[in-house]
Amino acid sequence: MKAVAIQAFGGPEGLAVIDLPVPEPGPGQLLVAAEAIGVSGADTLIRSGALAGYGFKEGHIPGSEVAGTVTAVGDGVDASWVGRRVWAFTGTGGGYVEQAVAPLGEVLALPAGLSAVDAVTLGSSGVVAHFGLAHARFTPGESVLVRGAAGSIGIMTVQLAARGGAGAVAVTTSSPERGRRLRGLGATHVLDRSGGGAGDAPAGFDVIIDVVAGPDMPAFFGRLNPNGRLVVVGAVGGQPPADFGSRMMAAFQKSLTFATFSAATVSESGRRAVRAEQFAAAGRGEVRAVVHDVLPLERVVLAHRAMDSGEVFGRIVLAP
């Protein structure tokens, strides 16, 4: 089968399409013939070598979510799964392949009418958006700022905050056109990347969901209301400065809260329940899967170049 491996850390040209034997599912696993593979910001960070300190090595196969049809099952898995259309989470890698292995607990049958492309656009990002807002203790009526709203996580956070009754949903983004599209998804105010540029936006926010992190993150503590909460759910902009906490201490009397959030801290059953509800909501047209482009697996370098350029709105999907 065809697969994509990181042959050299750095730019997208370090990715290469290789041939691998089709894997056999082990006990408790399923083999999925991929129709769609999600491309995420985490994939680009791993490819760049920025996460090498976490054990990622050259030769790694990136990708974490696929959707397609089950072709085989391992011991302990009901054979009735074979032939079913599913979404599957492969872990921190192993997704950029024509045939992917995933544990049964991370596989969810797709409802009729939900495409494989939409499934990998919503599957992980929707869970992060849902539980990121919960981690921030968001309640109806509160104001929310989504920093880095044009990616799949940001887009889902905008939609869920609006559906959840936010008093205002502001976004940071890089262009008026992106702002217009985000308004169509529920945003009420559009800011530039620095958090300025909209005179009618609230001066402060109760919740900031940050997909970017990076060197500019500390400045956004100044946009929090008293008792405001900033939750980092991604770091596509890199690590924040080591002394970022000094900005919070300078605003000590505002009782601000900073947190990080990873879906890895949510129970498997909790992730499954939310994902199933969101897939059903997408089928009813209540939430939208925003797809930037669908590219053949062989054009993975082009996909990562687009991700690195910052031009992607929504999710890029690879199709084997």
Count other C-beta atoms under 10 Å from residue 180's C-beta.
Answer: 12
pLDDT of residue 299: 98
Q: Which amino acid is at 142?
A: E
Q: Which long-range contacts (CB under 8 A, 24 or more apart) does 58-62 make?
A: 58/6, 58/7, 58/8, 58/9, 59/5, 59/6, 59/7, 60/5, 60/6, 60/93, 61/3, 61/4, 61/5, 61/6, 61/93, 61/94, 61/95, 61/96, 61/97, 62/4, 62/6, 62/93, 62/95, 62/96
- pLDDT at residue 197, as a whole number: 77
Res 199: pLDDT: 73
Listed in sequence order, the residues at least 6 apart from 142 whose beta carbon sits closer than 8 Å to its beta carbon are: 166, 167, 206, 207
**CA 313 – CA 170 distance, rounded (Å):** 17
Residues near 182 by beta carbon (within 8 Å), at least 6 away in sequence: 149, 150, 155, 158, 171, 173, 190
What pLDDT shows up at residue 195? 87
List, in order, residues 6 or more apart from 209 with CB less than 8 Å away: 129, 132, 133, 136, 144, 145, 146, 147, 154, 157, 161, 231, 233
Confidence (pLDDT) at 3: 98
Please list, residue by residue across 204-226, b when 16 or more beta carbons sit within 10 angstroms of its beta carbon and e when fewer do.
ebbbbbbbbbbebbbebbebbbe
For 193-211, the pLDDT digits (tens) are: 888 877 788 999 999 999 9
Q: Residue 309 and residue 93: Cα distance in Å, rounded?
A: 23
Q: For residue 88, list its beta bridge partners.
A: 66, 107
- Please report the pLDDT score of residue 243 as a whole number: 95
The closest alpha carbon to 233, from 39, 38, 37, 41, belongs to: 41
> Whole-angstrom Cα distance, residue 78 to residue 104?
10
- The pLDDT score that the predictor gives to residue 221 is 97
> Distance between CA 262 and CA 260 in Å, rounded?
7
Low-confidence ranges of the chain (pLDDT < 70): none
Q: What pLDDT does 315 receive?
A: 97
| Cα–Cα distance measured from residue 214 to residue 237, given in angstroms and rounded to the nearest whole number | 4
Three-class DSSP category at 165: coil
